[in-house]
Structure 1
Amino acid sequence: MSVGRITRPHGLKGELRVQSFLSDRSLLKDIPVFYLGREESAESLRPTGVREAPGGRDLLFRFEGVEDLEAAEELRGRVLYAELADFPEPEEGEYYYFQLEGLLVKDEKGERLGRVKGVMPVGPYDLLEVETENRKTFYLPMVEGIVLEINLSEGYILVNPTPGLIESQL
């Protein structure tokens, strides 16, 4: 699953700034190996060091074999993937946002509204980014009353959007 993006090199010695896709970016600090793709043959990157980036929003990583600006520049913009097994098991009733990607979103009547494309933290609550079958996107606030149930084992999220919420975005 995708867990972050290499945004740019930091300095001249191969350090890379990584934007986390996780709500708790500190989880990235304990990942033993990242991948530059989802396929089995994807190139792997092993961290040799990690620290907080200035400004506190991103992390700065050093990876084996990335020793200079030129090598770091080749990784600019690449998405980092990690194995679910490398993360601590969430508590019962909790989940990682990346586990929501691809889940079916349906309403109380059973109508399929789309699939989760991602989760966006926007302030006091997060937004579910949902893509419809015809590739249009809408957003649902992840708040009580709108998100009724998240069922990872059966692969769906049950929602009750307020009237007009979805239609106003499409």
Structure 2
Amino acid sequence: MQLVVARIGRAHGIKGEVTVEVRTDEPELRLGPGAVLATDPASVGPLTIETGRVHSGRLLLRFEGVRDRTGAEALRNTLLIAEVDPEELPEDEDEYYDHQLMDLDVVTVDGVEVGRITEISHLPSQDLFIVERPDGSEVMIPFVEEIVTEIDLEEQRAIIDPPPGLIDDRAEIVSTRDDGPAEAGKAGDDKAGDV
């Protein structure tokens, strides 16, 4: 099975190094010297990593046969693809590869069907499941343990305990006033509606 593990960014310096946007939790395994990676577009590769180093918080790679800035710049926006055994599991039992999570059925702890995972978005703060609902709409579910309570690969499902309003329109409005629940549009400062 092929997995995208990085995207090549801009050239760095004049000796053929490139910056890399890492898309794997295991860069030391997937992007180490000697690794041979397929590419998208395929005509650019395969590429063999010659050296790698971290500079100012960014991973820099040099590939065999790329010796100058022009060659490095020609690789910009190329996706690096690793061949991974589909049976391989991450070292930590609470971690999953994207391909393991794709197409899982998403259900609430009460057994209510939410939909199916169609995409996983990796954001700096957290990962999000993009879930297609039975009616064709999409909902985004943060992949955090407070919400995603269980991943059951055998049953091919993700069990969630969503807070109010995450998967439906019935959000609970909490008021700090003593006179009861706030009305929609009137929560917060009393002068918010005055112009």
Band of TM-score, shorter chain: 0.7 to 0.9
- Counterpart of 2:21, as a letter, is Q
- Counterpart of 1:81, as a letter, is I
Segments of 5+ residues of structure 2 without an aligned counterpart are 170-195
Q: Distance in 2 between matches of 1:20 and 1:51?
A: 13
Seen in structure 2, the aligned counterparts of structure 1 residues 148 and 75 have a Cα distance that, compared at 3 Å, is: same
Q: Which residue of 2 aligns with 1:73?
A: 73
Scaled by the length of structure 1, the TM-score of the pair is 0.75
Q: 2:119 aligns with which of 105, 117, 120?
A: 117
Q: State the 1:101 CA deviation.
A: 5.2
* Offset from partner CA, 1:22-45 (integer Å, 9 cap, x none): 245434443711111398x98311
Seen in structure 2, the aligned counterparts of structure 1 residues 70 and 167 have a Cα distance that, compared at 3 Å, is: farther
**1:103 alignment partner, SS class:** coil
- Counterpart of 1:83, as a letter, is E
Q: Which has the larger radius of gyration?
A: 2
* Offset from partner CA, 1:113-142 (integer Å, 9 cap, x none): 23242242433xx23231426876543222
Seen in structure 2, the aligned counterparts of structure 1 residues 149 and 163 have a Cα distance that, compared at 3 Å, is: same
Q: Which residue of 2 aligns with 1:37?
A: 40
- Counterpart of 1:64, as a letter, is E
Q: Distance in 2 between matches of 1:12 and 1:150?
A: 46
Taking CA–CA contacts closer than 8 Å with sequence separation of 6 or more, which of the two structures ends up with the larger relative contact order? 1
Structure 1 window deviating more from structure 2 (132-141 vs 7-16): it is: 132-141
**1:66 alignment partner, SS class:** coil
Q: Distance in 2 between matches of 1:135 and 1:16?
A: 40
Tell me how many residue pairs correspond in the alignment: 161
Seen in structure 2, the aligned counterparts of structure 1 residues 12 and 138 have a Cα distance that, compared at 3 Å, is: farther
Scaled by the length of structure 2, the TM-score of the pair is 0.66
The 5 Å alignment of 1:96-115 reads 96-100=96-100, 102-108=102-108, 109=111, 111-115=113-117
Seen in structure 2, the aligned counterparts of structure 1 residues 71 and 120 have a Cα distance that, compared at 3 Å, is: same
Q: Which residue of 1 aligns with 2:140?
A: 139
**1:71 alignment partner, SS class:** helix
